[in-house]
A and B are shown apart, each in its own frame.
Chain A
Amino acid sequence: MIDWGAFIVVAVVSIGSAAAIVALFACGLRLLAVEPRRGAMSALAYVCFAVAALGALYGVYLIIPSLHPA
């Protein structure tokens, strides 16, 4: 009656992707806060933000049905 397999997949993917995006963004913020400021650290921080943004863009891709075959 209830599709436990699908539920477990949904649970794992939800928790995993939320944790991944938040961790990336938090790493970016933490790297920006390193003192004294160094170029390498800041660059790494922006890489973190960029990857998190890519994750968000993937979300937008999933939201808009015309972008992907149903």
Chain B
Amino acid sequence: MDLTFIVVLVIVLAIFFDFTNGFHDTANAMATPIATGALRPRVAVAVAAVLNLAGAFLSTTVASTISGGIIKEGPGGVDITPAMIFAGLIGAVVWNLVTWLRGLPSSSSHALFGGLIGAALVGAGLGSVDFGVVLSKVVFPALLAPLVAGVAGFVATRLAYRITRRPVEKNRRAGFRVGQIFTSSMVALAHGTNDAQKTMGVITLALIAGGFLRTGSAPPFWVIIICACAIAAGTYTGGWRIIQTLGGGLTDIKATQGFSAEAATAATVLASSHLGFALSTTQVASGSIIGAGLGRRGGSIQWGTAGKIVIAWFITLPAAAAVGAVCELIAQFGVVGLALEVVLGLGVIVGIFVISRRRPGSSNALEVDVAMNSVRTRSERRDAEKKRSEEILATRRRLSDESSLFGYGQDVR
């Protein structure tokens, strides 16, 4: 089979994965400022997109292994073929879209690892996957990330409320909204430096596997530009469903909590990536929001939603692996298999988009509008309602003015 063709397919799919990664993770940084009204939804996603774009250019040293040691690659291990990477990417993209459809924040990198594991298990046998590394790099961090972030968010929120407490006079906590813009921006920037890099790595390794680049070479400049643009575009599209879950579905977030939660997220992500214990940004963000929710007196957590999120974390890897395995199985039928794989993958992606448009709104524009309305603050909602009723009144007046041919509606003005 023509290797060039598969490499092109891998690059296209990797860019699409980067895009889904972007809109899947907008919520990590921007759910809380949108929920508390610190930033307008469109402004928030625009800020996140710009910071992701900048972040992608700031950090371009890609990993030398595609799976970070989960699959025994390289000399003495298995050879990861571009076809395997393609199957793995389909698994990752499909699972990212499914969790987005359900509004569940799940780790995009775990989905990618899962897809690759599935493909490697089918393509290279059981011995190709190092399950010890799976346990220490995926399963334990998934348990510990929300714990650390949760405690950090809880302590920070408690402190913030305690320090700004004024028993007699009115509390002045509006300033936390301003602070929130900065802490959220930090999270968005950190995301850009981490996640765009992952896709650059996948594309670079596919190019190396296809013999277009020498082993150990840095990503070409066009790869950097495309990855940066894809993740920024994805971020700007905004995964409103996930923003809704993190911004309002878990707990009712106030500005003080939002500031504390994002500070906890930023601190945990930075500490974990610089002190050698990698944690998933998505899981950290969810954990600190839960911590912040528990930290406010009178705050409550929707444990049903939290439970669903945790379940999604733990099935992300096996689910993506199952899809990746099926794709690799199909791919073993040569060119026909590959064509079938492409058709099936496209079918699933289009299918999910169709479903997403059907529910809850009838159109995407409406869905975005509904999501944006539902994450507004209480006062904003009240204002919006007032404005809407005024508009209706004005429309009625206008209509009656226009029908004033027989003298009707003159007195209304």
Interface residues of A (CB under 8 A from B): 1-3, 6-7, 9-11, 13-15, 17-19, 21-23, 25-30, 32-33, 35, 52-53, 56, 59-60, 62-66, 70
Known contacts: A14-B272, A63-B58, A64-B58. The answer to whether A33 contacts B160 by CB under 8 A is: no
Set of chain B residues within 8 Å of A10, measured between Cβ atoms: 148, 268, 271-272, 275-277, 279
Interface residues of B in 140-175 (CB under 8 A from A): 140, 144, 148-149, 151-153, 155-157, 159-160, 163-164, 166, 169, 171-173, 175
Contacting pair B267 A21 (CB below 8 A): yes
Contacting pair A29 B173 (CB below 8 A): yes
Q: How far is the CB of B262 from chain A (nearest CB, A)?
A: 10
Q: Which residue of A lies closest to B173 (CB)?
A: A29
Q: For the complex, is B331 an interface residue (Cβ under 8 Å from A)?
A: no
Known contacts: A2-B136, A10-B279, A25-B176. The answer to whether A65 contacts B151 by CB under 8 A is: no
Set of chain A residues within 8 Å of B53, measured between Cβ atoms: none
CA distance A28 to B136 in the complex (A): 41
Set of chain B residues within 8 Å of A3, measured between Cβ atoms: 136, 276-277
Contacting pair A6 B275 (CB below 8 A): yes
Known contacts: A14-B267, A56-B182, A63-B58. The answer to whether A33 contacts B166 by CB under 8 A is: yes
The 7 lowest CB-CB distance pairs between A and B, nearest first, are A26-B163, A33-B172, A18-B267, A14-B268, A22-B156, A18-B264, A18-B152
Contacting pair A62 B274 (CB below 8 A): yes
Contacting pair B163 A14 (CB below 8 A): no
Contacting pair B271 A17 (CB below 8 A): yes
CA distance A29 to B255 in the complex (A): 13
Contacting pair B270 A63 (CB below 8 A): yes
Contacting pair B279 A65 (CB below 8 A): no
Q: For the complex, is B12 an interface residue (Cβ under 8 Å from A)?
A: no
Contacting pair B148 A15 (CB below 8 A): yes
Residue in B140, B260, B277 whose beta carbon sits within 8 Å of that of A18 in the complex: B260
Set of chain B residues within 8 Å of A13, measured between Cβ atoms: 267, 271, 275
Q: How far is the CB of A23 from chain B (nearest CB, A)?
A: 5
CA distance A52 to B186 in the complex (A): 13
CA distance A14 to B284 in the complex (A): 11
Q: For the complex, is B259 an interface residue (Cβ under 8 Å from A)?
A: yes
CA distance A64 to B55 in the complex (A): 8
Q: Which residue of A lies closest to B153 (CB)?
A: A18
Set of chain A residues within 8 Å of B153, measured between Cβ atoms: 18
Contacting pair A63 B268 (CB below 8 A): no
Contacting pair A29 B267 (CB below 8 A): no
CA distance A70 to B55 in the complex (A): 17
Contacting pair B193 A65 (CB below 8 A): yes
Set of chain B residues within 8 Å of A11, measured between Cβ atoms: 144, 148, 151
Q: How far is the CB of B167 from chain A (nearest CB, A)?
A: 13
Set of chain A residues within 8 Å of B85, measured between Cβ atoms: none
CA distance A6 to B144 in the complex (A): 12
Set of chain B residues within 8 Å of A25, measured between Cβ atoms: 160, 175-176, 179, 259
CA distance A59 to B271 in the complex (A): 9
Residue in A18, A35, A66 whose beta carbon sits within 8 Å of that of B169 in the complex: A35
Interface residues of B in 56-77 (CB under 8 A from A): 58-59, 61
Set of chain A residues within 8 Å of B58, measured between Cβ atoms: 63-66
Q: How far is the CB of A61 from chain B (nearest CB, A)?
A: 10
Q: How far is the CB of A32 from chain B (nearest CB, A)?
A: 7
**Can you give 8 contacting A-B residue pairs, CB < 8 Å?**
A14-B264, A18-B152, A22-B156, A25-B175, A30-B166, A32-B172, A59-B266, A64-B59
